[in-house]
Amino acid sequence: MDIASGLMQGFAVALQPANLLWCFVGVLLGTVVGIMPGLGPPATIAMLLPLTAFMNPAGAMIMLAGIYYGAKYGGSTTSILLNVPGESASVVTCLDGYAMARKGRAGPALGIAAIASFIAGTVGVLGLMLVAPPLARFALAFSAPEYFGLMALGLAMVVLLAGRSMVKALLATLVGLWIAGVGTDLFTSTSRFTFGRMELLSGIDFVVVAIGIFAIGEVLANLEAREEPQLLPVPRGLRNLLPTMQDLRDCRFAFAQGSIIGFLVGVLPGAGSTIASFISYGVEKAFSRRREQFGTGVIEGVAAPEGANNSETGGALVPLLTLGIPGSGTTAILLAALVLWGFKPGPLFIAENPNLFWGLVASMYIGNVMLLILNLPLVPVFAQVLRAPVYVLYPLILGVSIVGIYASSGSLFDLLLLVGFGLLGYLMRKLDYPSAPLILGLVLGGAMERALRQSLMMSEGSLGILVSRPISAVMLCFALLILLIPFFSRVNTWRVRALEQKDL
C-alpha cells in the first residue's frame, strides 16, 4: 500500500465519530496531565491501560497516543507560569519561558510554545509516515539473532542515557529482566521465581509494575512536600496570547531545527524528549545572533525545545511500531497496550494492521490541530487545573490505580503487588535509580530470552550465531561499546555533564 492510499484509509478510520471523540479525550487528558506537575504521561497511560481492555483497539490506541503527545503541549504551560516543568520534556522551557512570563510576556511564550508544538508535532508525524513503512520492510529480513542484537542495543542505549550512573541503570534493567522471568517458562513449563505462589505462575502483569513504579511512586515522591508553588497570572484573550510577526520571524530556525532534531532523537532508543529538547535548545543558542541573551526570556529559547519534544513523539513511534522495540518508559507502556489488545508490533505490524497504523497516523494530524485550538485560546482555562488542591488529586490517582489493576485482573494479590512496586518506585527515585530501564527490561525480557534461546537452537548451542550474522554482529558490537563507555573517561565525562544538565 502506498503512503497516499494508506493515509486516505487512515483518515477514514480517524474521522469516525467514536475515534474523533477518543482522540479529543486523549489530547484533552494529555494536556491536563502535562500541566499537572508530578503526573506524567507514563503514569496516566499506565493507569488507564486496564480500562482500555473494554475499548475498540483503534480508539484506545488513538486515545493513549493522544495523551502521550498532548502532555507535551501541556507541559510548557506549567514551565512558563510556575517555573516547574509539567513533565520532564519541558524542563528546558523553564529557562526562557518563565523569564518571559516574569517580564509580562507569558502570553506570547504560551502562544509560541503551542505554535512550535503544532508545527514540529506535525513534522514528526510526517516523518513517522515516511520512515516507518520502509524500515518495516527492511526489518522483515530480521530473524531471532538480529532481534536479540536489536533488543540488546536498545537496552544498552537506555542504560547509557537514562541516568548519571550507568551501573544503576544497568542494575535497573537487569531487575526488569528478572521480573519478566517470574512465572512459567514457556519452553519447558518450569516454574521460575514463583515463591510457591499460585498467583505468580502466570507471571507478574506489566501493568501492575508500571502503575506501581510510575503512578504510586510519583504520588509518594510528590507527597514529600506540603507547600504548593505560586502561579504567575495568565493573560486572557487570544490577542494577548498570539506572538508578534517579529516573534514568528525570530523563531523560523527554531521551528525547523526543533522538528528535525526532535524526530531524529526520537528514533534513537533511550534518548527521549528531554534530551531532544536540550539538544535543540543548545543548537538554537549556538547559532543565534543573540546567544548571550538566552536564559533571560528569548522567544526562540521556548520555541526550539517545545518543537523538539513534540516532534520526538513521531520519531519514538517508529522503532515501536516497526521493530517492536520501545525507546522509553511511555512507549514501553504503549507496546504493552498493543500486546494486551492482541497485536504484535514488529515488521509485519503495518502490513497486517493497516487500519490501526494509518488510523493512528491520521489521528495524530487531527490531534495536533485539536491541541493547537485547545492550547491557544483555552490555555487560561487549563491553567486553572494548577489551582486544584493536591490533597484531592493524590487520592484520585491512588484510587484510579487500585481500580485499574482490579479491573484488569480481579485479583487482590495484584493490588498487594501494586503497593510493593509503588514503594520500589519511590525508593528508586530516592536512591537515583532510573525507572525507564527497569520498565524496558521488563517489557523486552521475555522476547529477549526467547530470541536468545531460539538463536541458540538454530545454531545447536553455539553463541557464534550472534556474531556470524552481520546485522546482529554490528548491533551487539555497538551495544558492547556503549556499555564500555565508563572506561573511556572523556566520553563518559561528556555523558555525565549532559545528563546533569538534563536534571538541572
- Output the nine-digit C-alpha cell for 339: 500486546
Query: Which span sits near another protein by CB under 8 A: 41-49, 56-64, 178-186, 279-287?
Result: 178-186
The count of chain residues that interact with another protein, using the rule CB under 8 A, is 60
Among 193, 287, 488, 494, binds another protein (CB under 8 A): 193
487 belongs to the binding site for another protein (CB under 8 A): no
449 belongs to the binding site for another protein (CB under 8 A): yes
Q: Which is nearer to another protein, 3 or 402 (CB)?
A: 402
Among 7, 423, 467, 473, binds another protein (CB under 8 A): 423
User: In what helix (H) or strand (E) does residue 183 lie, and over which residues does it extend?
Assistant: strand 183-184
Could you give the CA distance from residue 2 to residue 398 in angstroms, rounded to a whole number? 45
The answer to whether the beta carbons of residues 435 and 214 sit under 8 Å apart is: yes
Half-sphere exposure of 155 (CA within 13 A, CB side): 28
x-marked contacts with another protein along 225-254 as a string, rule CB under 8 A: xx----------------------------
CB of 38 to another protein, least distance (A): 13
177 belongs to the binding site for another protein (CB under 8 A): yes
Q: 3-class DSSP state for residue 286?
A: helix
Please, which residues bridge with residue 192 across strands? 183
CB of 167 to another protein, least distance (A): 5
The alpha-carbon radius of gyration of the chain (Å, integer) is 22
- Alpha helix stretches (DSSP H) within 223-348: 238-241, 245-250, 252-267, 272-287, 300-323, 329-340
| Stretch 385-404 residues interacting with another protein (CB under 8 A) | 389-392, 394-396, 398-399, 402-403
- For the chain, the maximum distance between any two Cα atoms, rounded to a whole number of angstroms, is 70
x-marked contacts with another protein along 331-370 as a string, rule CB under 8 A: ----------------------------------------
CB of 194 to another protein, least distance (A): 10
- Which residue in 480, 414, 479 sits closest to 198, CA to CA? 414
Among 407, 480, 484, 504, binds another protein (CB under 8 A): 407
| Stretch 425-444 residues interacting with another protein (CB under 8 A) | 426, 430-433
Handedness of CA 132, 138, 144, 146 (dihedral sign): negative
b/e code 145-184 from CB counts within 10 Å (16+ = b) = bbbbbbbbbbbbbbbbbbbbbbebbbbbbbbbbebbbbbe
Contact residues toward another protein (CB under 8 A) are 51, 54, 165, 167-168, 170-171, 174-175, 177-178, 181, 185, 187-188, 190, 192-193, 216, 219-221, 223-226, 389-392, 394-396, 398-399, 402-403, 406-407, 410, 412, 415-416, 418-419, 422-423, 426, 430-433, 448-449, 452-453, 456-457, 460-461
